[in-house]
Amino acid sequence: MEIYGRNLGGIVVIKKINEDIHRVVFATDFGNKLLDFEISSDSFKVNFFVDGMDNKRFLKALEDDFRMLLQPVYAIDKTFVGKNEIIYGSEQNSGNIYLFENKEDKFLYKMIFARKSKEKITFEFQNKKDTFAEHIGIIHHNMPFTIQLIKI
User: pLDDT tens track of the chain, all 152 residues?
Assistant: 777 777 888 899 999 999 999 999 999 888 899 999 999 989 999 999 888 778 888 899 999 999 999 988 889 999 999 999 999 999 986 899 999 999 988 899 999 999 988 999 999 999 877 667 889 999 999 988 899 998 88
Domain limit, last residue, from 72, 98, 121: 72
Q: What angle do CA 71, 35, 42 make, to 5 degrees?
A: 30
Q: So what's the pLDDT on residue 75?
A: 92
**Co-location of 68 and 80 in the same domain:** no
Number of domains in the chain: 2
Picking from 66, 87, 65, the residue whose alpha carbon sits closest to that of residue 76 is 87
- For residue 123, give Cα distances in angstroms to 29, 52, 75, 138, 149: 24, 25, 18, 5, 11
Q: Say if residue 103 is in the same domain as residue 78.
A: yes
Which ranges of the chain does DSSP label H, i.e. alpha helix? 56-70
Write down which residue in 72, 107, 122 finishes a domain. Answer: 72
Which is nearest to 24 in space by CA: 9, 11, 37? 37
Structural domain span for residue 132: 74-151
- pTM across the whole model: 0.88
pLDDT recorded at residue 114: 96
Contact 90, 75 (CB under 8 A): yes
Q: Which of 72, 104, 128 is the last residue of a domain?
A: 72
| 16 DSSP β-pair partners | 22
Residue 55 shares a structural domain with residue 88: no
Cβ neighbours around 59 below 10 Å, total: 16
State residue 78's pLDDT score: 94
82 and 113 in a single domain? The answer is yes
87 and 68 housed in the same domain? no
- The reply to whether 104 and 88 lie within a common domain is yes
Residues 66 and 128 in one domain: no
Strand partners, 150: 135
**3-state class (DSSP) for residue 131:** coil
Alpha carbon distance 114, 120 (integer Å): 5
Q: Given this model, what pLDDT does residue 130 score?
A: 66
